[in-house]
Structure 1
């Protein structure tokens, strides 16, 4: 489960990568390079690329889509959970977002992290960073929806590839190829299921 990623690019670099035309919000309105899941009391934000009619735009959203889950102590009590990673694509909760192109987004990334499964000498699990050397800025396949606190997003995960699996064998984010950006933002969901696949490990770097 990816719960920390990085975006070190400038607004101009992001705009150029994803075909966004000015005006767009200045850099200082966005978070620090390391992006973490939103909190119940303190919202945390990332930025996503959405399709707005004929144009794309960058929007600031919380990373974590809200859902209600029963309390372990009392099933009649509902608790708010912030879901960052989308794995169960057959769930009715995600289906409305997946099947609605306007609810899909691109999540710009320069690197993402996973904790290793084995503790180091300090008894802490080491944090590993993954990147795509040939693509300084790449994108996760994301979805978003309005919430009571504003718009929120998550991104899809899939089976890990050969470079991620030894460190985190459960899953990795769905990294889109550049040629698939337009499709992700506009095509019918049934035509996109093949994109939910591990990114080629030979194209990724570690460290």
Structure 2
């Protein structure tokens, strides 16, 4: 499951996209610091839009990715099946996420790293939930059975949402099963980022 993702989009572009979709976004803690980050990892602080007091609206805040679960393990992914999530929904801002597979070369110790992006837009949102913990508020990514784009790489997948789903996920009155679904094949282009694949010019 996903334990690493990317966000390199500036806050102005994020705010403009929400405005274009008529999704009202408040910033109750001021404008979040949204740095360009190639790798956002478990326990890092990152921006989310959490559901607010108005249906289909939200609050843009920075929160910790993962909370402490049973046995002290971080809860960074959370199964969505059979749950409605009638409160504490959030959108996790991203422009890519990573999956890792065993290397083809047994001499290679590090796993092969793959980057997935959204075909139809430079950035997207991942379905998540947040909760208050003794250490402060934190969020986690929801998961489901993989679609065709992810299945060759992992037995589970996080849930990227298309732009027309963002408002619905922020509205807890919209049933979760109407929003949480896999995308059609080809929606999530993938490239190998480690080991770096040599280009034709590099091989000449």
Q: CA RMSD in A?
A: 2.3
Provide the residue aligned with 1:186 in structure 2: 171
Rounded Cα–Cα distance in structure 2 between residues aligned with 1:22 and 1:99: 22
CA contact (8 A) 1:47 1:60 kept: yes
Rounded Cα–Cα distance in structure 1 between residues aligned with 2:109 and 2:72: 32
C-alpha displacement at 1:53, in angstroms? 2.6
Provide the residue aligned with 2:68 in structure 1: 66
Q: For 1:107, which of 69, 83, 92 is the aligned residue? A: 92
User: Alpha carbons of 1:154 and 1:58: their partners in 2 closer, same or farther (altered >3 Å)?
Assistant: same
Number of matched residues? 182
Provide the residue aligned with 2:195 in structure 1: none
CA contact (8 A) 2:78 2:140 kept: yes
User: Alpha carbons of 1:180 and 1:186: their partners in 2 closer, same or farther (altered >3 Å)?
Assistant: same
- Structure 1 gaps of 5+ residues are 39-43, 70-78
CA contact (8 A) 1:157 1:196 kept: no
Provide the residue aligned with 1:174 in structure 2: 159
Provide the residue aligned with 1:140 in structure 2: 126
C-alpha displacement at 1:88, in angstroms? 5.4
The C-alpha deviation readout for 1:34-80, integer Å capped at 9, x for no partner, is 11001xxxxx211101233345321111100332x2xxxxxxxxx32
C-alpha displacement at 1:167, in angstroms? 1.7
CA contact (8 A) 2:159 2:180 kept: yes
Rounded Cα–Cα distance in structure 2 between residues aligned with 1:18 and 1:195: 18
User: Alpha carbons of 1:186 and 1:21: their partners in 2 closer, same or farther (altered >3 Å)?
Assistant: closer
